Structure 1
Amino acid sequence: MMKKAVICGYYGQGNGGDEALLVSLLQMLPSDIYPIVLSANPRQTEERYGVESCPNRSFLAILKVLKQSDLFIWGGGSLMQDVTSWSSPIYYAGLMILAQQLGLKTIAWAQGIGPLKRPFTRWLTHQALRKCTAVSVRDGASAKLVSEWQINPLVAPDPVWALKAKSVPKLSDLPAPRVAVNLRKHPQLTPQRLKVLTKALIDFQKATNVCLLLVPFQASQDLEIARSIAAQLPGFHQIISLEDPRELKGLFRGVEMMIGMRLHSLIMAAAEESRCFALSYDPKVTRLMIEIELPGWELNELPDDPNIISTAWLKCYANGEALSQYRIQSLVDRAFMHQEILGTGFTK
C-alpha cells in the first residue's frame, strides 16, 4: 500500500545544492512512498521533478497535506543552523514538531546540524530530533553534537555524492582545458576580497590560457558576482547557469579544476574527478576540506596578495590530484547509507 511522505527543505529557491539534495532524496525514496514536496515554487517543482508539491509558506495547505500523510522528512542540508537566520530553524523545527504531534513518523535525513549559537535554537533542535523515528547526518561534527543529546544518528557522506549526473549539451563546444569558479554573496566576501580574487583569476587565466566557467548555484546570490568577474577576464569565459542539478553535476565531467565557495559545488566537482580548491565561508565547507583533504583557505584568512592566491591555484592546477575513483566510489556507496533510514519510517 502506497504511503505519503511530506518532504521539507530549502526547495524552490533556485539553489542548485538544495535542489540536488531533493533529487538525491527522490532517487533514494522507496517505490512505495508517494512524495509531497514543500516548495517556495510548487509549480516549478512539480514540472521539474514530476512530484506533487505544496506551497511551503501556506500553513493551511501544509496542515492539510500533513493530515493526509504518514511520514515527514527533513530532506537534507543545513536546516538547523542559526548563523544565516534565526527564524529558519524555528520554521523547520516547528513543522517537524507539528508533524510529530499529528502522529506522523518523522525522519531527519542527511542533516548538517549547526552551528547553533543561541540556546533557544539549540534546545528547539534537540526537541525536534529526540522524537524522530530515524536521524542521519552528513558529517562527524553534526554526529558529535546530536550524540551529546543521547541521539544515535546514522553518519554518511552528503547524498549529492550519489546523485546521478547528466551530460551537459554543447559543453564540448567550449574551449578546453576548462576551470570552473563559484563564488557567492556573503559578508566574508568583502568588496576588497572579491577584488583580490578577481585579480588572481585574471593572472591565473593569463598564465594557463584556460577557459573559465563561472557557475552560479543560486542566481540571487551568485550571478551578479559572476557577471562582475566575467567583465574583467582577458581570456575565453562563459557564465553557465543550469537549472537541472543532474546537469549541474554533469558539468564537472568536462572541468579540470573547480575553485568554489559553495559546499555542493565542491562535492559535485570532486565526485566527477575534478581537482578542487575551496574558499570556505562556513563550517560545513571547512569540514569537507578536512574530510577529503581539499586545499584552500578560510575566506577570513584569504591572503591580500593576488599573486599568492594565483600561485596556489597554479600549483593545484598543475600538480593537484583529483580524488581517486576508489575514493569516490567509497563516498558514493556510503552516501547511499542515507537510503537505509528512508525505509525505517514504517518499520519502527
Structure 2
Amino acid sequence: MVEIVLYGYFGKGNLGDEALREAWSRALAEVGQVVAFAPPRLPHGETVIFTGEPLQDRTSRRSLLFYAAAIKAAVGRGKTVLGAVGVDVRSLLGRWILPRILCDVDYISVRDPLSREGLRLLGVDAREARDVALSLDPPTGTHRGPVLLNLTPSLPPEARAAALDFAREAATRLGRPLKGLVMARGEDEQALVGLELIAPRTVDEAREVIGGATLAVGARLHFLEFALICGTPFVAVPYAPKVNAFLALVERDLPHGIPRIPGASVRDTLE
C-alpha cells in the first residue's frame, strides 16, 4: 500500500487545520496509508499532499518562504499535490517565487475562484475544488443552544466591537446566552475577552457545539464552514479574502446575500 504524506499546520491548536487532516485522512484511507506531517518538519514520501493555506504571506512572509522550501523538498522526492488550497500572496517576492516553485508540482487544486485567479495571474494553472472540510458529516443539532461568537485578534477593533454588539443584541432578542467559541487556541481568546468561552478540543466536539447553536456569528473560515454543514444560521465577520470567497460560493445558490458585519442589522437578520 502506498504511503501518502498529508502536510499542513497540524497539531497547533487550530481546529480548521485539524478538520482538514481528519477529512483528508478519511477520504484517502482506501487509497493508501496516510501519515500527517507538520512544520517545522519538512515532508518526504512517495506522495505528498499539501493542505490548508500554504500559499499565503498575509500573516507572515516567513510562512510562505518555509512552505516554498517544503514544496521544493517534496518535489525532489516524489509526487507532489496541492489539494484544494487557499492562495493569498501579496508581496512581490512571493509572486516571484511561486511560479518557479509550482512549475514542478504534479497537481494543483484551489478551494475558490479567487485563489484560482491569483495563480492564473502568475501563469500557474490550477483546478477548482471545494474545501475538503465541507465533506465532514453533520451532527444532529437542535439549534436551541447559545448564540456563538468567534473572532480573531487580527480583526480591526471597530469590527470586533461591531460583532460583539451584534451578537449581544441577537442573543437578547433570541432569549439565548452568548458564548465565545475558540477555534484557534492561544489566539481567539484574545479577541473574546469578557465572554464565557467554549474551547472544543476536537473537531467532532466543535461541530457538536456549533450544530446545537441557535445562531453563529464569526470570522474564521472553518467556523463558518462548520455552521454551514451543521445547518446553523450564521452571520459572517470577514477578516480575510478567503472568507469573502467562501461566502460568494455559498451565495451562488441563495436568493439573498449572507449577512456581514459590519453592516448587518440584527432585526433584519433575525426576521
Instruction: Identify the TM-score tier after normalising by the shorter chain.
Output: 0.7 to 0.9
Identity over the aligned pairs, expressed in percent? 22
SS of alignment partner, residue 220 of structure 1: coil
Q: Distance in 2 between matches of 1:195 and 1:205?
A: 15
Aligned to 2:9: 10
Query: Does 2:266 correspond to 1:316?
Result: no
Any conservation in 2 of the 1:3–1:34 contact (CA below 8 Å)?
yes
Pair 1:32–1:206, CA change in 2 (3 A): closer
Structure 1 gaps, min length 5: 40-55, 231-237, 304-308, 320-348
Pair 1:137–1:196, CA change in 2 (3 A): closer
Report the structure number with the largest CA radius of gyration.
1
Instruction: Give the letter aligned to residue 72 of structure 1.
Output: V
Query: Does 2:212 correspond to 1:212?
Result: no
Pair 1:150–1:195, CA change in 2 (3 A): closer
Could you give the per-residue CA deviations for residues 161-190 of structure 1, whole angstroms, max 9, x where no partner exists?
Answer: 1113456xxx87xx935322111111x332
Aligned to 2:258: 295
Q: Distance in 1 between matches of 2:101 and 2:30?
A: 27
Measured on the aligned residues, the alpha-carbon RMSD in Å equals: 2.4
Could you give the per-residue CA deviations for residues 256-280 of structure 1, whole angstroms, max 9, x where no partner exists?
Answer: 3211100111111011111111111
Paired residues for 1:103-252 under 5 Å = 104-114=78-88, 116-165=89-138, 176-186=144-154, 188-190=155-157, 192-228=158-194, 230=195, 238-252=196-210
Instruction: Give the letter aligned to residue 112 of structure 1.
Output: G
Any conservation in 2 of the 1:178–1:257 contact (CA below 8 Å)?
yes
Pair 1:177–1:99, CA change in 2 (3 A): closer
1:57 to 40, 50, 54: 40
TM-score (norm 1): 0.70
Q: Distance in 1 between matches of 2:112 and 2:31?
A: 29
2:211 to 228, 247, 253: 253
- Higher helix fraction: Structure 1 or Structure 2? 1
Instruction: Give the letter aligned to residue 24 of structure 1.
Output: A
Paired residues, number: 266
Q: Distance in 2 between matches of 1:99 and 1:194?
A: 40
Aligned to 1:101: 76
Q: CA deviation at 1:282?
A: 0.4
Q: Distance in 1 between matches of 2:31 and 2:232?
A: 36
Q: CA deviation at 1:72?
A: 1.4
Q: Distance in 1 between matches of 2:172 and 2:159?
A: 20
SS of alignment partner, residue 12 of structure 1: coil
Pair 1:110–1:34, CA change in 2 (3 A): same
SS of alignment partner, residue 248 of structure 1: helix
Q: Distance in 2 between matches of 1:26 and 1:154?
A: 21
Q: Distance in 2 between matches of 1:295 and 1:13?
A: 30
Moved over 6 A (4+): none
Q: Distance in 2 between matches of 1:193 and 1:138?
A: 26
Any conservation in 1 of the 2:210–2:227 contact (CA below 8 Å)?
yes
Q: Distance in 2 between matches of 1:206 and 1:32?
A: 49
Any conservation in 1 of the 2:139–2:230 contact (CA below 8 Å)?
no
Could you give the per-residue CA deviations for residues 4-31 of structure 1, whole angstroms, max 9, x where no partner exists?
Answer: 2222111111011111111111111142
1:262 to 209, 212, 220: 220
Could you give the per-residue CA deviations for residues 210-252 of structure 1, whole angstroms, max 9, x where no partner exists?
Answer: 1323211012111233342x2xxxxxxx522112113312323
Pair 1:152–1:182, CA change in 2 (3 A): same
Any conservation in 1 of the 2:236–2:260 contact (CA below 8 Å)?
yes
Q: Distance in 2 between matches of 1:126 and 1:275?
A: 40
Instruction: Give the letter aligned to residue 179 of structure 1.
Output: V
Instruction: Give the letter aligned to residue 202 of structure 1.
Output: R
Structure 2 gaps, min length 5: 252-256
Instruction: Give the letter aligned to residue 207 of structure 1.
Output: R
